[in-house]
Structure 1
Amino acid sequence: MLFLLAPAFLAVAAGVIAFGIRCLKAALPGAADPEPGWRRTVLALTYAGAAVTTAAYGFGVLVLISTLAKGEDGGADSAPVPADHPCRVRLHDAAVVDYDVHFLTLRTVCITDAGDRKAVEDVPQEVRIAAATSALCTAPLATTALATRRPATTA
């Protein structure tokens, strides 16, 4: 699983850079095909929101991939979960037998020997809030930008 860390990081970085460049192109005047002032603002805010969403969600995914890599690490004291895994680090008194990683909600859920399921905060709460909030704010902007786009002209 560790081999996914570098490609995931590069994909997140490429997405943030691409959205950032599109944001600047939309925000700065002088484009070859200028948009009306309000639509240019909506486009710039949409791309900026997409960049923030990509960065926050991508950071959370990178943390979860790291958690998976720790969970699959072999060696002494690795059964059922290694000693440096977030489930064992944060749940000191519980005997952790398994864990689930949820990429959609950016959470790790630990399963104890008693069958209890406890969420641990390996992805910081602020990162989850930033990803969700920016996605919720970007969606209506993107809808507005798509609904008001000019039809393509045929030559």
Structure 2
Amino acid sequence: MPKSRRIADIVLDEQSVARRSPEVEHERAVALFDIIEENDFHLIGGAPGPYRLRVGIFEQRLVFDVRDDEDRKLRDIVLSLTPFRKVVKDYFLICESYYAAIKKLGPSQIEALDMGRRGLHNEGSELLRERLAGKIEVDHDTARRLFTLICALHITS
């Protein structure tokens, strides 16, 4: 991907980050690593990248603070959390079941839970792409990684 369509650095607002299980913390760390390694991100109608992205919750809204590679603010993209609440809640519930299943259930039950987990993850990433339409363009994999990071933020049900 050209540098003009890349996130070069991403930071989560640590005050917004909810501490979760070690498995979820691991997913967050992997998502942060993967998003820097490979992403497709473009600020529509704005300056080209590479971008620095800060993601957090402010006044019950999801905020994407988009900056240029010299850390100058380009734009804040603010989204309502309401559309994300149900899918995030469901995603955490199935993740808890999945992680518990790994410890005591057979492969077929684990696979079924994993398919459900991946389905909810895809649903959340598509919702994110829809909510960002006209503001930020991202590919499917970048949206999936960003959704993982959104889940790491403190979103109450």
Larger Rg: 1
Instruction: Give the alignment's TM-score, normalised by structure 2.
Output: 0.32
The higher relative CO (CA closer than 8 Å, separation ≥ 6) is in: 2
Instruction: Give the alignment's TM-score, normalised by structure 1.
Output: 0.32
Structure ranking higher in strand proportion? 2
Structure ranking higher in helix proportion? 1
